């Protein structure tokens, strides 16, 4: 019977998944110049929002959102690797 993964491994995987999701979203946001375009039923009510880029800064102006997204994706890969090593080490 396989043992249950340690809590530290589960926490590291959860943090890695969160970093990956946020990094991907930031990277995609920086790559789209016009923002996301909505189609369908709600398109008329969201037209004003979909064409205006957000003025909200996620990070320091020195680090672009694209670079921050790549950093978060790299951190997710490292954390995933560390979580796997912890899981192997604890077995």
The predicted-structure confidence for 50-63, as pLDDT tens digits, reads as follows 545 566 666 677 88
Residue 2 forms part of a structural domain: no
Q: Which domain holds residue 78?
A: 7-90
Residue 33 forms part of a structural domain: yes
Cα Rg for the chain, rounded, in angstroms?
18
Residue 15 forms part of a structural domain: yes
Residue 49 forms part of a structural domain: yes
Residue 1 forms part of a structural domain: no
- Structurally, how many domains does the chain consist of? 1
The residue with greater pLDDT, 5 or 13, is 13
Whole-model pTM over 0.85: no
DSSP letter (8 states) at residue 5: P
Residue 51 forms part of a structural domain: yes
Convert the pLDDT of each residue in 22-52 to its tens digit.
Answer: 999 988 888 875 544 444 545 555 555 554 5
């Amino acid at each position: 019977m396989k043992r249950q993964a340690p809590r530290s491994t589960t926490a590291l995987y959860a943090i890695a998944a969160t970093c990956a999701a946020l990094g991907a979203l930031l990277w995609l946001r920086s790559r789209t110049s016009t923002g996301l375009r909505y189609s369908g039923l709600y398109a008329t009510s969201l037209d004003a929002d979909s064409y205006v880029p957000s003025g909200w800064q996620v990070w320091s102006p020195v680090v672009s959102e694209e670079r921050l997204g790549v950093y978060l994706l790299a951190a997710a890969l490292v954390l995933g690797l560390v979580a796997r090593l912890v899981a192997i080490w604890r077995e």
